[in-house]
Amino acid sequence: MSRGALIVFARRPEPGRVKTRLCPPFTPTQACEFYRALLADVLEASAEMAAATGLEAVLAVTPETACAELARRCPPSFRVIAQRGADLGARMEWAVAEAAAAGRNPIVLRGSDNPSLSPALLVEALTALRDSDLVLGPDLGGGYGLVALRRPAPGLFAHPMGTRTVCEDTLRAASRLGLRAALLRPHFDLDTSEDLRNLAALRGGPDAVRCARSLAYLDEQRLWPST
């Protein structure tokens, strides 16, 4: 395989537009600041993972007007592009096509709200692509926070995203398209207050280093859910 790409999907941190499912108990401003910490953790870890695996680090941003702002905040190894498309599925398909047009192979997409995603999981995804066309890293909510592809697969994401069946829906689409699919072990995204318990469980373990800013923000603001 030629040099591939690791594409991080991110939004501009704006109160009322990010991590809204955390409100309440968070205020919109707290949710925005927490997302900013999450994004910083994910970008730092992704830059390191891309370098270790020989992938190009790419940040795909929405809205388009936020590209320059987020480019100033991310590690210098990133190439920053705007997301294109009417919905998330279309934007994911466009990002895969854009990377393929640049000669990137394989192509890995990841979210910006799963800072615990480990380098080992990325290596597993790349290894699984030797015998598969598509690899998904499921999250505990029925979706996924990592997608790895050998090549573009038009129609793969042409279904509602952000639902509790999105992983199953994507696997069904892969089957219709004749793609060989593989699943990795599940990890977790940080969408709701309950998800913060999963993050708290990482404290003191080897994965905590990738969540340092996120953990520190919740500590400083005392935003952990009560036990």
| pLDDT digit string, tens, across residues 88-136 | 999 999 999 999 999 999 999 999 999 889 999 999 999 999 999 999 9
Euclidean distance between CA atoms 33 and 98, whole angstroms: 30
Reported residue count of the chain is 227
What pLDDT score does 1 carry?
45
What whole-number distance in Å separates Cα of residue 100 and Cα of residue 103? 5
- Is 200 within 8 Å of 226 (Cβ atoms)? no
Tell me: pLDDT of 7 over 70.
yes
- Alpha carbon distance 21, 16 (integer Å): 10
Q: Which residues contact 38 (CB under 8 A, 6 or more apart)?
A: 112, 113, 115, 190, 213, 214
- Which pLDDT belongs to residue 162? 81
Helix axes 28-53, 212-221, angle to 10 degrees: 160
More confident site: 227 or 208: 208
Compute the chain's Rg from CA coordinates. 17
Q: Which residues of 102-116 are buried (b: 16+ CB within 10 A; e: fewer)?
A: eebbbbbbbbbbbbb
Given CATH 3.90.550.10, say whether it is the number of domain 5-221: yes
What is the pLDDT, as a whole number, of residue 116? Answer: 82
The pLDDT value recorded for residue 121 is: 95
Residues 57-83: pLDDT tens digits?
999 999 999 999 999 999 999 999 999
Cβ atoms of 34 and 113 closer than 8 Å: no
Task: Provide the mean pLDDT of the chain.
Answer: 95
pLDDT digits (tens, 9 = 90+) for 133-179: 999 999 988 999 999 999 999 999 999 998 889 999 999 999 999 99
pTM beyond 0.75, yes or no: yes
Q: pLDDT confidence of 227, banded at 50, 70, 90? A: low
